[in-house]
Structure 1
Amino acid sequence: MTPDEIAALFTRADGQYLCARWGRPIVPVVFGVEESTLSVLKGAVEAVVTLAGHKMAETDTELGANLMVFFLRDWAELPEVPNLDRLIPDLAPLCDRLAKAGANQYRVFRFDEAGAIKAAFVFVRMDDDLAGVSAETLALSQAVQTILLWSDTAFVGVSPLALAAGQVILRPEIAGVIRAAYDPVLPPVARDTSHALRLAARMAALH
Structure 2
Amino acid sequence: MIEDVTPETVEALFRRGDGSYLCARWGRPIVPVVFGVEDETLGILKGAIEAVVGLAGHKMAETDAELGANLMVFFCRDWAELLEVPNLDRLVEGLGPLVARLAEAEANQYRVFRFDEAGAIRACFVFLRMDADMLEVPAATLALSQAVQSIVLWSDRAFAQSSPLGLANGVAVLRPEIGAVIRAVYDPTLPDVAQDDSHALRVFARIGGPQ
Q: TM-score range by the shorter chain?
A: over 0.9
- Residue segments in structure 1 that go unaligned for 5+ positions in a row: none
User: What are the equivalent positions in structure 2 for 1:11-30 lying under 5 Å apart?
Assistant: 11-30=15-34
Letter in 2 for 1:128: A
- The one-letter code sitting in structure 2 at the alignment partner of 1:195 is H
More helix per residue: 1 or 2? 1
Q: Which amino acid aligns with 1:150?
A: W
Q: What is the aligned partner in structure 1 of residue 123 from structure 2? A: 119
- Equivalent position amino acid for 2:80 in 1: A
> Which residue of 184, 189, 197 corresponds with 2:188?
184
Shift of 1:44: 0.1
Q: Tell me, in whole angstroms, the C-alpha distance in 2 between the residues paired with 1:129 and 1:191.
A: 35
Shift, 1:205, TM fit? 5.2
Once the two structures are superposed, the pairs formed by residues 34-49 of structure 1 within 5 Å of their partners are 34-49=38-53
**1:84 and 2:91 are equivalent in the alignment:** no
Runs of 4+ in 1 over 6 A off after TM superposition: none
Q: 2:37 aligns with which of 33, 36, 56?
A: 33
Q: Secondary structure at the match of 2:125?
A: strand
Unaligned runs of 5+ in 2: none
Aligned sequence identity (%): 71
Code of the aligned partner of 1:132: E
For 2:54, the equivalent position in structure 1 comes to 50
Report the counterpart of residue 196 of structure 1 in structure 2. Answer: 200
Q: Any idea what SS the aligned residue of 1:11 has?
A: coil
CA shift digits 1:89-117 (9 cap, x unpaired)? 11111101111111100000011111100
Q: Which residue of 2 aligns with 1:109?
A: 113
Residues 150-169 of structure 1 aligned to structure 2 (within 5 Å): 150-169=154-173
Alignment partner of 2:140 out of 133, 136, 140: 136
When residues 167 and 205 of structure 1 are mapped into structure 2, their CA distance, relative to the original with a 3 A threshold, is same
**Helix, strand or coil: the match of 1:65?**
coil
- Between the aligned partners of 1:74 and 1:7, the Cα distance in structure 2 is 36
- AA partner of residue 10 (structure 2): I
Cα distance in 2, alignment partners of residues 195 and 135 from structure 1: 34
What code does the residue aligned with 2:178 have? I
Paired AA for residue 196 in structure 1: A
Counterpart residue number, 2:74: 70
Give the conservation status (yes or no) of the 8 Å contact 1:116–1:188: yes
Deviation per CA, 1:57-92, whole angstroms, max 9, x where unpaired?
A: 000011000000000011111111110000111111
Between the aligned partners of 1:101 and 1:166, the Cα distance in structure 2 is 31
Alpha carbons 1:180, 1:206 under 8 Å: kept: no
- How many pairs align? 207
TM-score normalized with structure 1 length: 0.98
TM-score for the superposition, normalised by structure 2: 0.96
Amino acid at match of 2:148: V
